[in-house]
Structure 1
Amino acid sequence: MTPLRQQMLDAMALKGHALRTQQTYLYVVSQLAQHFHRSPDRVSAAEIHAYFLYLLRERQLAPASLRVYVSAVQFLYTEVLHRPWVDCHVPYPKLPQRIPELLSRSEVQRLLGCTRNLKHYTLLATCYGAGLRVSELLALRVRDIETERAILHIRQGKGGKDREQILTTGLLLHLRRYWLRYRPVDLLFYGPDTQTSLSTSAVQKTYLRAKRAAGITKQGGLHALRHAYATHQLEAGMPVYQLQRLLGHQSLRTTLRYVHWLPHYQSDGGRGIDLLHDVQARA
């Protein structure tokens, strides 16, 4: 490991960046070094500007990806090399504002009904029933299920924050059936052995197979189940501020996008519904 790489790791750790962010930033800096065939600390501001234009025009990176590249390089120069950052004025294309193809409750039920393997079924049911991100789903441990308080603990979610999710009767029923079959000890959803987590790609493939089997042609990967959880709870009358807390959104503006996707939304002040109450496991 080069001294510069170690310095960047130390700086990101002190800033509290998540492991995934650290890995992404290191990859971006390594790409910069490979492009110029020299250490990033020897690349000038003019060359950095030219590199960003190359990413935009030649490689045609998506706006979100380009922003990540800029953030990573800026972090290197300001937090690691302690150099003043020269604003490169990268002409970001506007991010397209599109409403995703939302899954209906009947489509989710059909998707779950086509999932025969109990482990795969419970993975998808938990993602939907608790509105989890894939990283949160794969980080779940047996101790995170608190049946007495009917709480599912989400530890170190996005932004390194803990939160609690309602553990509904329907979701608890599916988790109990899974536990009786597989007897997980630590990791709830383990991979090749009980100490190894499943990979994100493996879970995504599980979702896509189930979607194909259910004859669902709408676009999107596993995150569509989190969108489905949010929209279905709002349709059932859950207040936006409560959904914000359950989803782990730092800003209410992030949660409000779901309201924009539901033109007929009207809160009745309820707690939402048990989305898995009437869903029977066929695995």
Structure 2
Amino acid sequence: MQNPPSTKWFAKLIKHHGYNRIAVYFEHHAELTVRIKKVKGARWSNSLKVWHLPDHAENRSKFKLPVKIIGQQNLAKINQINQIAYQAYTDMLYLKAYSLATIKTYTVEFAQLLYLIKATPVDALTVEQLKSYLLYCLQELKLSENQVHNRINAIKFYFEKVLKQPQIVLEIPRPKKPALLPKVIHAEDISKMIKQTLNLKHKAILMLAYGMGLRVSEVVNLAITDIDSKSMQVHIRGAKNKKDRYTNLPEVILPILRTYYILYKPKKYLFEGQSGAQYGIRSAQQVFKQSLLRAKINKDVGIHSLRHSFATHLLEQGTDISYIQKLLGHTNIKTTLIYAQVGKKNIKAIVSPLDQIKW
């Protein structure tokens, strides 16, 4: 932020009413006050006597504050002997341009190992010690097979990419994952959820997630410029594995989006929070949970089930599996084929032999 002539100001991170905010301190200056008021989400605190703004990356950059670094909070709890290893681990994740979600998962999982071994150098761990740690995770901590897989992946990254010792991880067995089928919601129930969601932004989120089979991260990452109403295509940028793709925009949602745009006036992202920043993943998940409650659907499912339902319902309509693969952005057709096990159209036509006998 550029200073008006002869005006001194500084910004710092604060906690206000339980929220992370950026406080901007300056001597009374009419021009600067006007400029602060124009920042989306700016508020005046009577108790602190200061203007404060939402804490997000754009505002941090604007007010010359350090960008939040994922994994930094774990460092203080790690023994000094292993802090250099943890920093090297985090640096390598950033250098390899892993997604922020992956960096968060890997740093948290790797930190769990470092907390436990305390002053033992992680570089000196043997295969047997790593196996003992994973047994501890399974038998004592009662972690699921999927959670243990995440921990193995995190450890594997350190030995393979940071230490250049891939042979160590090759000797570690992986627990067999349960063959879970995707959870699907009936089309009538989805219709009920959409109808009973009156908030236009929330309705649009649900319709896009189901109507295009999007991951929740893809929904909140949509920019206004990603929607092409002429070609009825949507550009999905930087999806899983950093792959872009195009998918079809359902015709029924176009008038909804146009009305939403006029009412909400988003600036950059299609869905923005009250502060003007990108809409949060947790907020979108909460929208889904509330829609389940309103529609009185008693199912233990998350918003990702809308993506599963999209694929399953297309398959039941007779859509070629290879087209579904492209729409979902799957690299391997095997990932898409799991929906063939969920689709019920043909299976429901099978008559049980019990129905064929007289008794």
Q: TM-score, normalised by structure 2?
A: 0.69
Which of the pair is proportionally richer in strand? 2
Say whether residues 1:138 and 2:220 are aligned partners: yes
Find the counterpart in structure 1 of residue 55 from structure 2: none
1-structure distance, mates of 2:266, 2:101: 26
CA distance in 2, matches of 1:157, 1:66: 25
Contact map agreement 2:246 2:327 (CA 8 A) in 1: yes
- State the 1:91 CA deviation: 5.6
Is 1:7 the counterpart of 2:70? The answer is no
For the pair 1:112 / 2:199, whether they are aligned, the reply is: no
Aligned partner of 1:43 in structure 2 is: 125
1:245 is aligned to 326
Cα distance in 1, alignment partners of residues 177 and 166 from structure 2: 28
1:101-140 CA deviation, whole Å, 9 max, x = no partner?
A: 4212111010111112111111111111111001111111
- Among 298, 305, 310, the residue aligned to 1:229: 310
- Structure with greater Cα Rg: 2
How many residue pairs end up in the alignment?
A: 264
The equivalent residue for 1:177 is 259
Tell me if structure 1 keeps the 8 A contact 2:86–2:111.
no
Greater relative contact order, per chain length (Cα 8 Å cut-off, separation 6+):
1
1:90 to 154, 167, 173: 173
CA distance in 2, matches of 1:26, 1:98: 27
- Deviates most, 76-85 or 157-166: 76-85
Gap change, CA 1:265 and 1:251, over 3 Å in 2? farther
Give runs of aligned pairs for residues 74-89 of structure 1, distance below 5 A: 74-86=156-168, 87-89=170-172
Conserved 8 A contact 1:259-1:265: no
Report the alpha carbon displacement of residue 42 of structure 1 after superposing the two structures with TM.
4.2
Query: Deviation of residue 141 (structure 1)?
Result: 0.6
Q: How far is 1:16 from its partner?
A: 4.1
Displacement over 6 Å in runs of 4+: none
The DSSP-based 3-state class of the residue aligned with 2:239 is coil
The code of the aligned residue for 2:101 comes to R
| Distance of 2:185 and 2:160 partners within structure 1 | 43
Q: 1:193 aligns with which of 268, 275, 278?
A: 275
Which residue number corresponds to residue 301 of structure 2?
Answer: 220
Contact 1:187–1:197 under 8 Å retained in 2 = yes
The alignment's C-alpha RMSD in Å is 2.0
Q: How far apart, in 2, do the equivalents of 1:97 and 1:89 lie?
A: 21
Counterpart in 1 of 2:101?
A: 20
Distance change >3 Å, CA 103–CA 263, structure 1 → 2: closer
Corresponding position of 2:149: 67
1:270 corresponds to: none
Q: CA deviation at 1:8?
A: 2.0
1:13 to partner: Cα distance? 3.7
1:161 and 1:76 map into 2 onto residues whose CA distance is 25
Q: 1:71 to 1:138 in 2, by over 3 A?
A: same
Indicate conservation of the 8 Å contact 2:88/2:162, yes or no. yes
Structure 1 position 216, deviation (Å): 0.6
Q: Which runs of 5+ in 2 are unaligned?
A: 1-71, 73-82, 348-359
Contact 2:127 2:172 in 1 (8 A): no
Return 5+ residue gaps in structure 1 as ranges: 267-283
Contact 1:53 1:90 in 2 (8 A): no
Query: Residues 123, 178 of structure 1: CA spacing in aligned structure 2 closer, same or farther, 3 A cutoff?
Result: same
Question: Separation in 1 of the partners of 2:180 and 2:286?
Answer: 24
Contact 2:210 2:309 in 1 (8 A): yes
